[in-house]
Every structure is written in structure tokens, then in C-alpha cells.
């Protein structure tokens, strides 16, 4: 069910890892950000929008991971934007004849049959350095960065004081680094610096997964994520409840250990190649 979290900004939470679909009301319709996750959830979201008398005039995917590039026919054929690297990643994937099998391999088994792939990943890349989403509505600034994955972008809805963070600044998930990148630690820290630079304009933060954060929580989440990333950099265990005994999801501790191991291996490999 859609919940208003700021003027003209609504959120619908999925059963899958508290995934957030975001609706921003414009002058002629809505901007739909990261819709998902299951076929029924998206159909219900489309129905709620119809009941509100709203049509989808634009979409945006914050990054090229499967749960952020989904779509439903009931949303219509509005342009679905993303950064240029996001669109390029999707184009490369969809060009592979085995792409459905590749995607199926990473879908959560308990939801796999309910996730529609017929309109998967059809993203229009915005030109490099595009500052805002081209649509008839409140200004939505694009904050592109390389944390979590190449082509990631957060969105700042200036007039509403809302930061749509993508897979960043979650209260339930620790930072997941792009371990394929040359400098995953620095990429993540650089993105957090960008967020810190706009934090004074933010009253509400919406993570890709987790609870909506209100005023005062934005900087707290930036600080918490920075502390976690610094612990990874130092190769030590963080004091972070998201990977501790009280973690929301029991697999997060294993994911944290995996990140530590991968980074240690990367440091050893990089050191050996110098």
C-alpha cells in the first residue's frame, strides 16, 4: 500500500527485503522509481495509481541490479531512465542469448516464479553528466556515483527534501561494496561524501531496502555506513548491529565475512602485483 512520506512523494514497501518503490507526483503524471518486486505487487501499485487518477509518465532505475530494473505492463510504456552505465550494463546483459538463465540464477528462490522478466532491464541511458531527470514535475537531481555498482545514482527531490538513496543508507543492510571495482572502499567513501554534501537539504531518506529515515537520521546513516566501510578498510569487525546478533536477516553476517575475505584477497593480490 502506498504511503505518503513527503508532499507528492509516496512509497510502497515490498515483502522482499523491505524493497521500496517510490512514486513522485508531477504535473501530468508520476515518476516511478525502482518498482518491484513481484508481479502481483506491481499490478497492485499500478491499480493504486489508477485509483489516484495518476498515470506513469517516466521511470528511473537507480542501478543495474535485477530488483531495480523490473517493470509491469500496467505501468504503460513511459520512458524508463537510468545512468548511461546502468543502461549499458542492461544492454550488454540483454544481448546475451542466455540472459534469462543468468538472471534466474540470482533470483531469490521463494520469489522467483513471481518475478516478471518480460519487460526486464529496458532502460534508456541519460547522457553523461545529466544533472536532473527530464520530466514535467519537481526537480529531481541525479547524484551519480560508483558505490555498490557502476552506474549507481541517488536522486534528490529538491522541493520535497527527499533523498532516494538506491542501495545505500539502509537501516537493515550494511554497505555492499562493488568488489569488482579497482577501489571499492574509496568508491563507497566518495559516494558517502556526496551524500554528506547534500544532507543539509534532506528531510527524508528512502533506501532501496529498509525503513524510511526522517530528519536527523540522514547524517546518522551516513556516519554508520562510513564506520562500516572504514572497518572493512582496516580488516576488522565493525560495531554495527546490522551484522551483529540482532541483524534483521540471518545471512548478513555471512555476507559481511565474505566481503572481509574478498577485500583481504584483493589487497594480497594487488600487493603481489606491485
Tens of pLDDT, residues 200-232? 999 999 999 999 999 889 999 999 999 999 999
Span 117-121, average pLDDT:
96
What pLDDT does 274 receive? 44
Q: How far apart are CA 236 and CA 243, in angstroms?
A: 13
Which cell numbers hold the place of 124? 534508456
Position 273 pLDDT exceeds 60: no
Span 93-99, average pLDDT:
97
Q: Angle, to 10 degrees, between the axis of helix 217-234 and the axis of helix 184-198?
A: 160
Q: Name the residue ranges covered by the structural domains of the chain.
A: 3-272
Q: How confident is the model over 133-181, as pLDDT tens digits? A: 999 999 999 999 999 999 999 999 999 999 999 999 999 999 999 999 9
Cβ neighbors of 204 (< 8 A, separation 6 or more) are: 5, 6, 9, 160, 161, 162, 163, 212, 213, 214, 215
Say if CB 81 and CB 123 are below 8 A apart: yes
Q: How far apart are CA 152 and CA 166, in angstroms?
A: 8
Position 9 pLDDT exceeds 90: yes
What pLDDT does 246 receive? 86
Task: Check residues 67 and 269 and name the one with the higher pLDDT.
Answer: 67
Of the pLDDT bands very low, low, confident and very high (cuts 50, 70, 90), residue 78 is very high
The pairing of strands 56-60 and 124-125 is: unpaired
Q: Single out the residue of 64, 2, 8, 3 nearest to residue 31, CA to CA.
A: 8
What pLDDT does 271 receive? 60
Span 44-71, average pLDDT:
97
What pLDDT does 237 receive? 87
Of the pLDDT bands very low, low, confident and very high (cuts 50, 70, 90), residue 69 is very high
Q: Which CATH number, 3.40.30.10, 3.50.50.60, 3.40.109.10, 3.60.15.10, labels domain 3-272?
A: 3.60.15.10
Of the pLDDT bands very low, low, confident and very high (cuts 50, 70, 90), residue 268 is confident
Span 30-56, average pLDDT:
96
pTM of the model: 0.95
Amino acid at each position: 500500500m502506498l504511503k505518503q512520506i513527503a508532499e507528492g512523494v509516496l512509497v510502497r514497501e515490498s515483502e522482499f527485503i523491505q524493497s521500496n518503490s517510490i512514486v513522485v507526483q508531477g504535473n501530468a503524471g508520476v515518476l516511478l522509481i525502482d518498482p518491484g518486486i513481484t508481479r502481483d505487487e506491481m499490478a497492485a501499485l499500478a491499480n493504486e495509481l489508477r485509483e489516484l487518477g495518476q498515470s506513469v509518465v517516466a521511470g528511473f532505475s537507480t542501478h543495474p541490479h535485477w530488483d531495480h530494473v523490473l517493470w509491469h505492463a500496467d505501468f504503460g510504456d513511459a520512458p524508463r531512465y537510468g545512468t548511461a552505465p546502468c543502461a549499458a550494463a542492461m544492454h550488454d546483459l540483454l544481448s546475451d542469448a542466455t540472459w534469462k538463465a543468468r538472471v534466474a540464477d540470482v533470483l531469490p528462490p521463494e520469489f522467483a516464479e513471481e518475478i516478471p522478466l518480460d519487460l526486464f532491464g529496458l532502460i534508456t541511458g541519460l547522457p553523461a553528466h545529466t544533472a536532473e531527470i527530464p520530466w514535467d514535475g519537481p526537480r529531481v537531481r541525479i547524484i551519480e556515483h560508483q558505490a555498490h555498482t557502476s552506474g549507481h545514482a541517488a536522486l534528490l527531490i529538491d522541493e520535497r527534501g527527499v533523498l532516494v538513496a538506491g542501495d545505500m543508507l539502509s537501516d537493515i543492510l550494511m554497505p555492499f561494496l562493488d568488489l569488482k571495482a579497482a577501489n571499492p572502499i574509496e568508491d563507497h567513501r566518495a559516494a558517502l561524501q556526496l551524500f554528506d554534501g547534500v544532507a543539509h537539504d534532506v528531510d527524508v531518506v528512502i533506501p532501496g531496502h529498509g525503513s524510511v529515515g526522517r530528519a536527523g537520521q540522514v547524517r546518522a546513516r551516513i556516519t554508520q555506513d562510513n564506520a562500516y566501510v572504514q572497518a572493512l578498510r582496516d580488516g576488522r569487525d565493525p560495531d554495527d548491529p546490522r551484522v551483529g546478533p540482532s541483524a534483521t536477516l540471518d545471512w548478513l553476517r555471512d555476507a559481511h565475512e565474505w566481503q572481509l575475505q574478498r577485500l583481504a584477497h584483493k589487497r594480497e593480490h594487488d600487493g603481489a602485483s606491485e
